[in-house]
Chain A
Amino acid sequence: MAVKIAIASGKGGTGKTTVSLNLFHYFRQVLDTSVQLIDCDVEEPNDKLFLNDHQAQKIQTVNQLIPQIDTNNCTFCRQCVEYCEFNAIVVIPPAQFAEVNPALCHSCGACLHACNTPNAIVEQAHPIGQIQNYTENGELNFIEGRLNIGSAMQTMLIKEVIKSPTVNADIQLLDSPPGTSCPVVATVNNVDYCILVTEPSPFGLHDLKLMVDLLHELNVPFGVIINKSDNHYPEMDAYFEEQNIEVLGRIPFSTEYAKRYAQGRIFENIPKDVEEAYKEIISKLQTKVCYYA
């Protein structure tokens, strides 16, 4: 089994993608180990923008089963409406009207359980997104989930993306969506370890605390990487001290490096101090990987 490491942040824009890609790069360079990068930010996956040499493989469509009501068989008893927790079913008996709203349906199956009329409710597959595999020199090491525009089924897709790899690897890196809501929970829920990327600012600390609370609740061990670490913000260090939170590393800010990021050339001319910071982080993570393997 692969050791699963999620990269999350709470606040957006702290550097999840940068850290995920660099760990993907340095893990393989330093440790000679097989690593898979999984882009779980299905609403706006962007890891691929930096992985130019990867070859797209077969796309797998992920479907959501949505019940459809056949009004020729339906008795308009409204039992399914009573069962539906998400208000997704509209039944208007005088109008002989019965319909499921796909945008509200969570595919829980309660309506099928509620219905006693044969063939009144039948489930049909609705596509919600895709899972795209990518290979590099023939090795499957990058997987991207991409939600269809308009779909609100992020968590369902993320769960499918995480369990999709058909090829094993020593380490799986899960690039998480921002925030602390359901899609993030779906990403970090079953990982061995979580890396929280933050920035030294009041906003960064505020959202980091939310993420720390979430990980405590889920019982997921974690450490912190402070990105753009040049900014002096003592409140943040005081918080780490007080909470006994491990700081895995500090990555200095570089305008030149940010420019190359914007051009999609993240692996070119990595500044020396940035490279050293990542190598130190890798050595700290190495012991954790051995522990969870």
Chain B
Amino acid sequence: MNIVITSTGNTTDSKFDLRFGRAAYFCVYNTHDQSTKFIENENAEAQGGAGTKSAEKIIELDVKRVISGDFGPKAKELLDKFKVQMVMLDDGNSTIEAIINKIS
């Protein structure tokens, strides 16, 4: 299963990004082989609709669970529609690695 963790940078040392639509990177963690892949969020600076476009990206990546600080209403609606589980984590000091250790 693919899990996305929103990240402020493109390594596992990076801090967790509390924002979903405007997260700097999406870390795609594959639970089968424990691999990670970082995708730059091209909508981070969008004038509007960043949440919608990020949700679209998540669905395209065939992700079943997203871990982020919070989700806006438009992103939430779309993720709900495609049965993507949203996990909210209120910890901006955590690294991506620490979160992966927690869920694996």
- Chain A residues within 8 Å of B53, by CB: 87, 90
| A87 contact from B49, B59, B60, B82, Cβ within 8 A | B49
B74 touching A103, Cβ below 8 Å: yes
CA A104 to CA B53, docked complex, whole Å: 11
Contact with B along A77-110 (1 / 0, CB 8 A): 0000000001110111011010001011000000
Complex Cα distance, B82 from A95, in Å, reads 9
A74 to chain B, nearest CB (A): 15
In the complex formed, the residue of B with least CB distance to A92 is: B59
A92-B55 Cα distance, complex, nearest whole Å: 10
Contacts A87-B43, A87-B53, A90-B78 known; A104 to B59 CB distance under 8 Å? no
CA distance A104 to B82 in the complex (A): 20
B60's contact among A88, A92, A101, A103, by CB below 8 Å, is which?
Answer: A92
Number of B positions contacting A (CB below 8 A): 16
Asked if A87 and B50 sit within 8 Å, CB to CB, the answer is: yes
Q: How distant is the Cα of A95 from the Cα of B55 in the complex, in angstroms?
A: 13
Majority DSSP secondary structure for residues of B touching A: helix
Residues of B within 8 A of A87 (CB): 43, 46-50, 52-53
Are the C-beta atoms of B56 and A104 separated by less than 8 Å?
no
Query: Which residue of chain A has the shortest Cβ distance to B46 in the bound complex?
Result: A87
- Quick check: B48 and A104 within 8 Å, CB to CB? yes
Tell me whether A90 and B56 are in contact (CB under 8 A). Answer: yes
Residues of A within 8 A of B48 (CB): 86-87, 104
| B52 adjacent to A90 (CB under 8 Å) | yes
Residues of A contacting B43 in the complex (Cβ-Cβ under 8 angstroms) = 87
A91, A97, A101: the one contacting B49 at CB < 8 Å is: A101
Shortest beta-carbon distance from A67 to chain B in Å = 15
Q: What's the minimum C-beta distance from B47 to chain A, rounded to whole angstroms? A: 7
- Which chain A residue has the least Cβ–Cβ distance from B77? A101
Q: Which residues of B contact A86 (CB under 8 A)?
A: 47-49
Determine the distance from Cα of A92 to Cα of B56 in the docked complex, in whole angstroms. Answer: 7
Least Cβ distance of A17 to chain B in Å? 31
Which residues of the other chain, B, contact A95 by a CB distance below 8 angstroms?
A: 59, 82
**In the complex, which residues of chain B have a beta carbon less than 8 angstroms from the beta carbon of A103?**
74
For residue B86, give the distance in angstroms from its CB to the closest CB of chain A.
Answer: 17
Cβ of B50 to closest chain A Cβ, rounded Å: 7
Bound Cα distance from A225 to B7, whole angstroms: 52
The residues of B that contact A94 with a CB separation of less than 8 Å are 60, 62
Q: With the chains together, A184 CA to B47 CA distance in Å?
A: 20
> Are A101's CB and B74's CB within 8 A?
yes
Q: Are B60 and A104 in contact (CB under 8 A)?
A: no
B56 near A101: Cβ-Cβ < 8 Å? no
- Which residues of A are found within 8 Å of B49, using beta-carbon distances? 86-88, 101, 104
CB A83 to nearest CB in B, in angstroms, measures: 14
| Sample of 23 A–B contacts (CB below 8 Å) | A86-B47, A87-B43, A87-B46, A87-B47, A87-B49, A87-B52, A88-B49, A90-B52, A90-B53, A90-B55, A90-B56, A91-B56, A92-B56, A92-B60, A94-B62, A95-B59, A97-B82, A101-B49, A101-B74, A103-B74, A104-B48, A104-B49, A104-B52
What 12 new A-B contacts, CB under 8 Å, besides A90-B78, A94-B62? A86-B47, A86-B49, A87-B49, A87-B50, A87-B53, A90-B53, A95-B59, A95-B82, A97-B59, A101-B49, A101-B52, A101-B74
In the complex, the 8 A-B pairs of residues with the closest C-beta atoms, listed nearest first: A87-B49, A90-B56, A104-B49, A87-B53, A92-B59, A87-B46, A86-B48, A92-B60
